[in-house]
Amino acid sequence: CQGTTDRKVREWVTLDLILNYTFNLPPPAAQNEVAGYAKDGGKNVKMKDGKEKNVMPVSTAEYNPCGWRAWLNNTTITLGLDNVFDEQPPFVAAAFENGFDESTANPKGRLWYLAIKKRF
């Protein structure tokens, strides 16, 4: 037929965003004993009376394996946003109940989510 055009459903594109981060913290360093230092990280210092006293240094770097780092290690945090621009699904006349193709479109509109996954 001349002059007739086929009716087609226009393209339909949505933008989905996903952002995730996994905490992979290094294991604690092995403790090496050093002459002149106590096992608790202090240093034996000779006092004026000739006795030795265990004194903690002014600055001490410490890694506590039972603290928040241990709980955060191997944890993945995911933030997502589906249908960023809140587009309506395209109309499909052949759809039985709702006017859109349920296999390719979703009527929910914009949807955001947060997921936390912990591996032990």
Question: Other CB atoms closer than 10 Å to residue 105's CB: what's the count?
Answer: 19
Mean pLDDT value of segment 74-88: 93
Domain carrying residue 56: 30-61
pTM for the whole structure: 0.56
Alpha helices in 1-120 (DSSP H): 68-72
Check whether 62 has a pLDDT greater than 70: no
Both 57 and 70 in one domain: the answer is no
Both 111 and 74 in one domain: the answer is yes
The CA-based diameter of the chain, rounded to the nearest angstrom, is: 113
- Backbone phi and psi for residue 93, each to the nearest 5 degrees, phi listed first: -70, -25
Q: For the segment 20-51, what is each residue's pLDDT rounded down to a tens digit?
A: 999 998 876 776 776 766 565 556 677 788 78
DSSP state of 90: P
Q: Report the number of distinct structural domains present in the chain.
A: 2
